[in-house]
Each structure stands twice: as structure tokens, then as C-alpha cells.
Amino acid sequence: MEQKDFAEIGRDILFASRNELYMSLPYLDTALCALVFAPGGGVTLSLATDGETLFYDGPWLADRYLRSRVWPCRAYLHVILHCMLRHLAKKRGKVPELWDLACDTAVESILDELDYPCLNSGPIPQKQKFYGQCRRSMPVLTAEGIYRHLLRQDLPSYEAAQLQRAFLVDDHGLWDPEQQDDQEQSQRQDQKWQDLSSKTQTGLETVLSDQGTGGEAVLEQVRVAVRDDVDYRAFLRRFAAPKEVAAVDGDAFDYGFYSYGLRLYGNMPLVEPPETREEKRIEDFVIAIDTSMSTSGERVRQFLVCTYAILRSAGTFTRKVNIRILQCDDRIRADDAIQDLEDLRAYMENFQLTGGSATDFRPVFQHVAKLQEAGAFASLRGLLYFTDGMGVYPEKRTPYETAFILLGEPPLSVKMPPWAIRLVLEAPDLDRAVEQLPEEIDLSELPEL
């Protein structure tokens, strides 16, 4: 009987926490109601979820509620944010301990920025210190970015354990996607939370924007959660122009007349296959690199290696091209002309990042305009600008397509002009683009930068 009472008390505490959260964060209404409450589930002294049910330990939850009414609210929202940011489904293939810590850090960073009485537990120095370390390499504290940071740091086990204790709130034991027998159900569940996140994003950006006080931290993370995987190879091909190349065009060849001629005259076909065909190839093109202090040299190298590998692939790179690679912070630091594959390889082998001042995008577009006036381009298809997104943008639309490539989600304060193409790439997107290259491209030949 006592255990049954604690189960009901725990359920009442969760209902009360959910109602209190809804009053402060109305844009999370559907997400807050998306989990079913159930005691047990193998959970002791914690909360846990499998994406469908929120399991709880009644006696432990009642004890925490008596100590502080803030903790159940924070813990409830902590679990909901894990689901909304799709941390459960993304655990596959990760180091479990580091991924759990990265997810807890990302969620707690959101909660610490939400200034509501029901969530305010006061600053914890150890957590704030780790936030600061992570923000040196990423504008938005996402689980993916923090996970890569932890992999690079290779922390001693005792330091990792200290961080885990500082951020620990819920039990992640039910997350393991490798143990889920029904993969189709797992995908449906992930899609459900992606849809809920998308609705939350729409609400924060539109009708609930005035009521979403403090919701900027949620919106930054939700934008990352709902973003689909990026096919960088397909994106790069949009800047290719039609080009006639020496190759058999099977689509334009009528095999009926060819076969008829062979049947009628023996060895004399009536038609021959066309010796040329039209393909889309990259010729006139500009790549601009932000070399300001806020841009990581390692990220620039990763982007260039991936772009180099894609341009080398068959069906993309012509024998002769006209690619200009510009480096710029607040002024043009370098302008290199690439005319063929050997030029591109030599550039990659001798690449050096120059600059380090503030970011101003306008000199690149002014420089390109001068090159066009001088006849440097026959038909400029587009410009790729690799940057963190923070800088001074030109006011007028360019006569060619312009894409700003961002490796990681920028802060909400970054406002790009409406005419610009905005593409957010994560490191796995670049890795996937290289993995999908045709077999004729030997990755071992790529230059070491």
C-alpha cells in the first residue's frame, strides 16, 4: 500500500511540474505532454525515458520534491529536451559515456539560460567553467559539438567522472539503440520527436515569439535537431554549368534503328552513337574563406580537403576550370587562380591560412565584381563562402548564387541577407561526403594539411 501511495505521489509531482513548466514555456506544450508516466521500469533513484514513457522512482522523487520544488521541474524538462533534441536516436555508434555527458551538458546549458523561478537552481562553478571551455570552439552548445570536444580533449577518467556527476540528472540506460529489436518503431519514435521539435521551432519563430521569453536557447538547439543530413556533394553540383564532353550519350541514342540496320544489312548500322554528350561540370567558380580570428584553421582545412575531393570526382571537374580561391577577414588576404587539377593539388599541398582580423564579407564581393569587369570569368555560376557567419554582409543581392557554408549552427544573433543560401554543415556531413566519392578517387592521395 505504501509503495502504491508513493507511485501516486510521484505521478502527482510530475503532473504538477508539467503544469508549472507549461505556464512558463507555452511553446513546449505538445512536447511536455508527449510522455506517459509509469513507476518502475528498472529505474531507481532517478528518472528515465525510452522516448515513449517517463519512468520514475516514486519514493526518491518525493524526497527530492521535499528538498526543492525546482529540481522536479528541471529534471522533467531535462528529459523532454533530450527527446526533442533526438539524443536517444543519435547515440548509435558513439562512445556511450562521452555521448551521455555531451547530451547532459547541452541540455543543462539550455536550462541554465532559462530565467524562470521553477528552473532557477543557481550557478554551479564547475558547470559554468565547462560551458566556457566548450564555447571557445563552438557558438552553440550542441551535443554533437560537445561530443567532438570531449573526444579531442581525451580527459582522464577522474576528470570525466567529475563532469558526469556535475551534469547527471536522469538515467540513460534505456537509450541504447543497439538493443532495440524493432528498428522501424525506433525510426517512427525519432520522427515523432523531430516533428514535435519542428512545431516548437515554428511556434518560437512565429505566433509565440512574444511569449517565448528566454526561448532563444531552446530555439538554437531545436534548429540543430530538426535539420536533415546534408548531401554536400549534391549541393556543390548545383553550381555546375552544362558542358559538352567527349563521351557516348546513351540517352540520345536510338538502339532501335541501330539494331534494324544490323538485321537488314548484316554489319552496317543505320545510325552511330553520338560521340559527345552534355553534362554539368564546374568551371567558373569562387571559393571564399573567412580567415578571421573566430574561424578555426582545422575546420577550414577539413572543408577544403572535402571540396577538393569532390571536385576531383568524375562528372564534376573539367579538364580546364576557372576557380578563384580567396582568403579574407576584413580585407582580401590572398587570391589564387586554379586552372586545372594540378593547380588545385599544388594549392592544397601549399595551403596556408592568412589573416586574423575582424570579419567583413563585403571585400570579397567587391573583389569578385572587379574580376568580372576585367573579364576574368566567362560565366560565373556561384560563390561559396566558408565562415562562422558572424560579420558584415553586403546589402545588395549578387548577380550569381552565393552560399554561406557554416560548419555548425551559428547563434540566433547572426542574421544573413534573405537572398543568400545558408547551408549548415557538421563534421560528419563532410566525412560522409568524402566516403561517398566514386571508387576511382583514392583518398590516400589527398594531401595532408
- Give the chain's domains with CATH numbers: 2-226 (no CATH), 232-243+281-445 (3.40.50.410)
- Compute the average pLDDT of residues 129-154: 86
Nearest to 393 by CA among 426, 423, 422, 420: 420
In angstroms, the CA 6 to CA 11 distance is 8
**Alpha carbon separation from 322 to 325, 346, 363, 381 (Å, rounded):** 10, 15, 20, 11
Q: What is residue 225's predicted lDDT score, i.e. its pLDDT?
A: 64
Least confident of 291-295, 334-338, 359-363, 366-370: 291-295
- Residues 6 or more apart whose CB falls under 8 angstroms from that of 314 comprise 438, 440
Least confident of 6-15, 118-127, 180-189, 340-349: 180-189
Whether the predicted model's global pTM rises above the 0.85 cut: no
Provide the β-strand partners of residue 335.
Answer: 326
In angstroms, the CA 436 to CA 337 distance is 27
Q: 560565366: which residue's cell?
A: 379
Task: For residue 107, count CB atoms less than 10 angstroms from its CB and return exposed for 0-12, middle for 13-18, buried for 19 or more.
Answer: buried
